Amino acid sequence: DAEITQSPRHKITETGRQVTLACHQTWNHNNMFWYRQDLGHGLRLIHYSYGVQDTNKGEVSDGYSVSRSNTEDLPLTLESAASSQTSVYFCASSDGLAGLYEQYFGPGTRLTVT
Amino acid sequence: AQKVTQAQTEISVVEKEDVTLDCVYETRDTTYYLFWYKQPPSGELVFLIRRNSFDEQNEISGRYSWNFQKSTSSFNFTITASQVVDSAVYFCALSESPIRYGGATNKLIFGTGTLLAVQP
């Protein structure tokens, strides 16, 4: 069965370190997204991609970067982790255009920055 | 600006009660999509329903029903005869219009969620 996976599921890191969160989907979806979930804010969009070599900034992109070298993967990098980036991170993917298709979410990565 | 408001932060009901989760949205677009997602205690996000702006018919799926009213910019979700397994955070989300941005877009704008606790 097709799926979307994230790794690691839990990560503790120190302030200032670079961290990369992996996202891999086997749906063959063109669209991929990274969100962070914080209490009182719901899910907020960090970066998104509509295809290979395409990346775009979302609502809360400062301090994060992504790259899309193939259809299946969209890794999220925290260049220099900050305590404000302690959060639960969700990757999602969808097919098609214009909100016509729902997004499928990964299981999430809980990141703690100490 | 586009926005989704879920004014109910937490709701607690007793099993078998009916409960309605409110969702109010703001958009300047004439074409848009609305979604509901469920996040159970295990943490994953589960898609429940998608509705486009041209379809105001209410939808029923088992104990779940959705009431979409463009006149009040609302897309409310009702659970009939609630069960303990319905305990979760429920998110309403809005998808931006492709026409407005001149191309494909599938970004979701989420509300802050409503925590539903169903007591046995």
Q: What is the pLDDT of residues B22-51, one digit of tens each?
A: 999 998 888 888 999 999 999 999 999 988
Q: What is the pLDDT of residue B108?
A: 86
- pLDDT of amino acid B103: 47
End-to-end CA distance of chain B, in Å? 41
Q: How confident is the model at residue B53 (pLDDT cuts 50, 70, 90)?
A: confident
Q: Which residue of A has its CA nearest to B92?
A: A42
Can you list the residues of chain A whose pLDDT is less than 70?
A: 96-100
Interatomic CA distance for residues A7 and A23, integer angstroms: 7
- Residue B59: predicted pLDDT: 86
In degrees and rounded to multiples of 5, residue B12 shows phi and psi of: -125, 130
From CA B97, how far away is CA A50, in angstroms rounded? 15
The half-sphere exposure of B102 on its side-chain side, counting CA atoms within 13 A, is 0
| Residue where the block lists tokens 């709701």 | B11
Give me the pLDDT at residue A1, please: 78
Quick check: bond before A107 cis, omega within 30?
A: no
pLDDT band at B104 (very low <50, low <70, confident <90, very high): very low
CB contacts of A102 in chain B (<8 Å) are 35, 47, 50
Q: For B73-90, what is each residue's pLDDT tens digit?
A: 999 999 999 999 999 999
Is the Cβ of A107 closer than 8 Å to some Cβ of chain B?
yes
> To the nearest whole number, what is the mean pLDDT of chain A?
92
Alpha carbons A46 and A50: distance in angstroms, whole number: 14
Q: How confident is the model at residue B106 (pLDDT cuts 50, 70, 90)?
A: low
What number of CA atoms fall less than 13 Å from residue B92's CA on the CB side?
27
Burial of residue A76 (CB within 10 Å: 0-12, 13-18, 19+) is buried
Burial of B16 (0-12, 13-18, 19+ CB in 10 A): exposed
**In chain A, which among 20-49 make CB contacts under 8 A with chain B?**
31, 33, 35, 40-45, 48
B105: closest CA of chain A, how far (Å): 5
Q: For A5, which residue in chain B has the nearest alpha carbon?
A: B44
- Give chain A's end-to-end CA distance (angstroms, integer): 37
CA–CA min distance A40, chain B (Å): 6
